């Protein structure tokens, strides 16, 4: 056990023990993505409490648990990974039906997003069992939080692109047509190939998060066209696990002009008529212009109330 976590484990029990933790339930537990200190108090308490911990790699999970002072016998660690998840899920469900509490953890971060866990969750739900989330660390949200993306419209989580060059290039073509932010994951041995594949995105900005939360964490934002050179500038930049955020397509001058046309028409005509004419003039979808018109109308109303 790391001496620094002695008080953390006691604090976890004091903070989280009052909550009810039903038997026969699967607990999907987020674990740190690198920095052990990012674990939640509730995660520590539940990992101590459960009868067994299902996990991607039993050796990795055993090491993590021992670092926190949580002692689980080898028989309490159940291997559930991408190669055996469907079969192993049946075994976990059988244990849950016996009334056991079981936690599921991936090697890092929140399970069942890009890591295994979704099939296990689906099997437990199909059997009518409770599945309870314990939120925590996520490389995806960590990278988005420092990307500085202010446009509305949400984002798309794609995870790992295909490893074969042709399939990866085809996937990048789809990214070019996606106006929203896109979050990708990549391994160190493929990051340079991904950077080259993203070259067609040109000036579209890319935020790269390397080794997030770890000692040599690095975060940078560069145009897609400059990404290969940025990686090549230092040998260390191709090491570690990566989260890649492709920024949304920037608003074009045409978009701004179309909005101005809509504003002028709204000043003289009923809203629906203004939207119809703006769509005919600009060629933009009528539903998008209608949403923009409502937003403009709301903004104008708020401005008048403030004044």
Question: pLDDT over 90 for what percent of the chain?
Answer: 75
Q: Is the pLDDT of residue 119 over 60?
A: yes
pLDDT band at 252 (very low <50, low <70, confident <90, very high): low
Q: Could you tell me which residues are beta bridge partners of residue 79? A: 55
Number of neighbouring beta carbons within 10 Å of residue 285: 10
Residue 240 has pLDDT above 60, yes or no: yes
DSSP conformation class of 181: E
pLDDT digits 0-9 by tens, 136-193: 999 999 999 999 998 778 899 999 999 999 999 999 988 888 989 999 999 999 999 9
Per DSSP, 285 falls in state: -
pLDDT tens, 19-53? Answer: 999 999 999 999 999 999 999 999 999 999 999 99
For residues 223 and 247, the answer to whether their CB atoms sit within 8 Å is no
d(CA 9, CA 116): 27
Orientation angle between helical segments 85-97 and 118-126, nearest 10 degrees: 40
Inform me whether the pLDDT recorded for 255 exceeds 70.
Answer: no
Q: What pTM, to 2 d.p., does this model score? A: 0.80
Categorize the per-residue pLDDT at 286 as very low, low, confident or very high, splitting at 50, 70 and 90.
confident
Angstrom distance (rounded) from CA 268 to CA 247: 36
Query: Quick one: pLDDT at residue 303?
Result: 65
> What's the pLDDT tens digit per position in 47-74?
999 999 999 999 999 999 999 999 999 9
Given a cut of 60, whether residue 292 has pLDDT beyond it is yes
Contact 27, 102 (CB under 8 A): yes
305 confidence band (pLDDT: 50, 70, 90)? low
Average pLDDT over every residue of 104-112: 96
71 Cβ neighbours under 8 A, 6+ residues apart: 65
- For residue 219, the model assigns a pLDDT of 97
pLDDT of residue 257: 54
The pLDDT value given to residue 258: 67
292 or 78, greater pLDDT: 78
Of 219, 151, 143, whose CA–CA distance to 185 is shortest?
143
Q: How far apart are CA 27 and CA 13, in angstroms?
A: 17
Out of 62-66, 250-254, 259-263, 280-284, least confident range: 250-254
Question: In angstroms, rounded to a whole number, what is the distance separating the alpha carbons of residues 300 and 33?
Answer: 45
- In sequence order, which residues have a C-beta less than 8 Å from that of residue 34 and are 6 or more positions away? 108, 211, 212, 213, 214, 217
Distance in angstroms (rounded) separating the CA atoms of residues 19 and 29: 16
Q: Looking at residue 261, what is its pLDDT?
A: 82
Task: For the chain, list the strands marked E by DSSP.
Answer: 25-29, 52-55, 77-79, 102-105, 130-134, 155-159, 181-186, 205-210, 218-223, 242-246
Residue 1 has pLDDT above 70, yes or no: no
Distance CA 132, CA 28 (A): 6
The 3-state DSSP class for residue 31 equals: strand
Q: Within its chain, how far is the Cα of 55 from the centroid?
A: 19
What is the pLDDT at residue 89? 97
Share the mean pLDDT of the chain. 92
pLDDT computed for residue 256 by the predictor: 58
Q: Pick from 68, 1, 3: which is nearest to 29 by CA?
A: 68
Q: Which residues pair with 242 in a beta bridge?
A: 186, 210
Stretch 124-137: mean pLDDT:
98
Q: How far apart are CA 159 and CA 244, in angstroms?
A: 9
Residue 129 in this model has a pLDDT that exceeds 70:
yes
* Residue 127 pLDDT class (50, 70, 90 cuts): very high
Average pLDDT for 200-206: 95
């Amino acid at each position: 056990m790391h001496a620094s976590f002695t008080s953390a484990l006691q604090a976890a029990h004091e903070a989280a023990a009052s909550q009810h933790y039903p038997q026969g339930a699967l607990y999907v537990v987020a674990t740190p993505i690198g920095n052990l200190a990012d674990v939640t108090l509730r995660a520590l308490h539940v990992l101590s409490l459960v009868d067994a911990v299902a996990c991607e790699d039993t050796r990795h999970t055993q090491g993590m648990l021992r670092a926190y002072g949580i002692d689980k016998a080898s028989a309490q660690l159940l291997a559930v990974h991408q190669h055996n998840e469907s079969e192993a899920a049946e075994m976990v469900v059988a244990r849950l039906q016996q009334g056991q509490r079981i936690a599921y953890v991936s090697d890092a971060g929140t399970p069942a997003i890009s890591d295994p866990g979704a099939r296990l969750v689906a099997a437990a739900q199909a059997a009518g069992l409770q599945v309870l989330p314990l939120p925590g660390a996520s490389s995806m949200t960590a990278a988005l939080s420092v990307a500085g993306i202010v446009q509305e419209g949400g984002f798309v989580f794609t995870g790992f692109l295909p490893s074969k060059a042709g399939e990866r290039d085809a996937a990048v073509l789809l990214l070019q047509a996606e106006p929203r932010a896109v979050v990708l994951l990549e391994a160190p041995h493929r990051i340079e190939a991904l950077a080259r594949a993203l070259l067609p995105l040109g000036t579209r900005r890319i935020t790269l998060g390397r080794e997030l939360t770890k000692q040599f964490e690095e975060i940078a934002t560069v145009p897609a066209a400059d990404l290969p050179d940025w990686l090549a500038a230092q040998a260390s930049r191709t090491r570690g696990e990566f989260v890649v955020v492709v920024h949304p397509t920037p608003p074009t001058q045409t978009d701004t002009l179309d909005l101005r046309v809509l504003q002028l028409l709204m000043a003289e005509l009923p809203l629906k008529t203004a939207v119809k004419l703006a769509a005919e003039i600009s060629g933009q979808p009528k539903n998008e212009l209608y949403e923009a018109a409502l937003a403009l109308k709301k903004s104008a109303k708020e401005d008048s109330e403030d004044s």
